[in-house]
Amino acid sequence: MDYRTLLRDMFDAAVAAAAPALCVPKHLPKPPKGRTVVVGAGKAAAAMAAAVEANWSGPIEGLVVTRYGHAVPCRHIEVIEAAHPVPDAAGREAARRILDNVRGLGPDDLVLCLLSGGGSSLLALPAAGVTLEDKQAINRALLRSGAHIGEINTVRKHLSAIKGGRLAIAAAPAPVVSLMISDVPGDDPSVIASGPTVPDPTTSAAAIAILEKYRIEIPHSVLKHLREPTSETPKPGDTRFCNVTNHVVATPQDALEAAARVALDAGFRPLILGNAIEGEARDVGLVHAGIAKQAAGYGQPAEPPCVLISGGETTVTVRGGGRGGRNAEFLLSLAVALDGHAGIAAIAADTDGIDGSADNAGAFLLPDTLERTVQAGLSLPAHLANNDAYSVFARLGDLLITGPTRTNVNDFRAILIDK
């Protein structure tokens, strides 16, 4: 059985289910009487803009910002590349220009906003009194702390001049239609790209509490800003959102179901464990290993040949000095817990093609992985303790390298359990 090929086919199907060319056109609004201004941010933003252009009748203009290496050519919509996951000056300038583009429009115009995972970092316009350097330092600390995406984006919203509903407020009275590709557990529009067009239920006090919870140093200027009433984001019920419509056009569940169909066609019964699984990557790996061994040994909760499929966004609390994203760490933890169990293979990868800040989407675990690590003189527990999963899978030749996929519906995990 060629486990690697089947796992890769499942991953490719998951990514294809969220391709902007597939999910954007069917949700496009009717062209307005006036101008159509397209703005957006995220790893899929450029591909979404290209899909709009290919399916739009009438004049169109605008600007979107995407991660370095994720651009695609557009004729009328300008594409800017900026840094992710830590913001940079290019993202700050792009966000400033996006705000300028939507100001001064009227009720006969339309703002079409294209949002996807990564938009929070790419829309890097600091609030008054907050510097880009402050945002960069806090962002780095949050990414290493183990905070989940909802907590991180709560902080980001309250340090921003554009996120947390502020983009929609700037566009009023023009109607705003946002199309979103979800990369967050629960598909909450207020969390996707930190909700630039969505009223924000979180508070400045919550942002301070999150920073204190993870013992992140708060610069004096940031703390002063967060304690001022002006730092608060617009809330649900605000009448300025009456002309704003938010559509989630692709979700992690769509991706998991597409992968499940591929597995079923190959003779493996699919069981989707959940599309919004969170927690420490190594802990999630341990739990998945327990379920896999239960299925292999007792036919529960699925009878082999079967495949356990899950999505969501795990986190990594960085304590070691190694290299490796959350998917590689999940997979290394899974390998340690399975301890060479026969007939089990797995993949864990980010659907955007980048596992954290590395050059791989994720990695493969194969039935002979443990045997090969022993032959290579590698200690899996030692590498796990050092947050160094990348080195293990690179040494084995088991990294999954796809390059940017230009979409993002979060992490994809599949564990094949053969008879």
Predicted local confidence at residue 231, as pLDDT: 85
Contact 399, 393 (CB under 8 A): yes
Q: Backbone dihedral region of 173: left (phi > 0), alpha (psi from -120 to 50 degrees) or beta?
A: alpha
> What letter represents residue 292's amino acid?
A
CATH: 2.40.50.140, 3.90.1640.10, 3.40.50.10180, 3.40.50.20. Which one for 20-250? 3.40.50.10180
- From residue 376, how far is each of 172, 344, 370 by CA, in Å? 61, 21, 10
Burial code (b: 16+ CB inside 10 Å, e: under 16) for 187-203 equals: bbbbbbbbbbbbbbebb
Contact 328, 393 (CB under 8 A): yes
* Rounded CA separation 260/250 (Å): 16
pLDDT tens for the chain, residues 1 to 419: 899 999 999 999 999 999 999 999 999 999 999 999 999 999 999 999 999 999 999 999 999 999 999 999 999 999 999 999 999 999 999 999 999 999 999 999 999 999 999 999 999 999 999 999 999 999 999 988 989 889 999 999 999 999 999 999 999 999 999 999 999 988 999 999 999 999 999 999 999 999 999 999 999 999 999 999 988 999 999 999 999 999 999 999 999 999 999 999 999 999 999 999 999 999 999 999 999 999 999 999 999 999 999 999 999 999 999 998 999 999 999 999 999 999 999 999 999 999 987 899 999 999 999 999 999 999 999 999 999 999 999 999 999 999 999 999 999 999 999 99
* Rounded CA separation 367/7 (Å): 13
Neighbouring residues of 222: CB distance < 8 A, sequence distance ≥ 6: 130, 134, 138, 159
Predicted local confidence at residue 324, as pLDDT: 87
Closest CA to 334 of 373, 375, 282: 282
Q: Is the dihedral of CA 111, 113, 119, 120 positive or negative?
A: positive
Residue at token pair 């990564």: 118
Fold assignment, 3-12+253-417: glycerate kinase, domain 1 (3.40.1480)
Predicted local confidence at residue 41, as pLDDT: 98
* Rounded CA separation 399/391 (Å): 9
* Rounded CA separation 17/178 (Å): 19
Predicted local confidence at residue 273, as pLDDT: 98
Q: Which helix (H) or strand (E) holds 246?
A: strand 244-250
Predicted local confidence at residue 357, as pLDDT: 75
> What letter represents residue 168's amino acid?
A
* Rounded CA separation 26/28 (Å): 6
Residue at token pair 């115009």: 109
Contact 281, 329 (CB under 8 A): yes
* Rounded CA separation 216/141 (Å): 7
Alpha helices in 3-116 (DSSP H): 3-17, 20-23, 45-55, 89-102
Q: pLDDT of 152-198, one tens digit each?
A: 999 999 999 999 999 999 999 999 999 999 999 889 999 999 999 99
Domain positions in the chain: 3-12+253-417, 20-250
Query: DSSP code of 150?
Result: H
> What letter represents residue 108's amino acid?
D
Closest CA to 330 of 395, 392, 378: 392
What is the Cα Rg of the chain in Å?
22
Predicted local confidence at residue 216, as pLDDT: 96
Alpha helices in 71-203 (DSSP H): 89-102, 119-122, 132-145, 149-158, 166-171
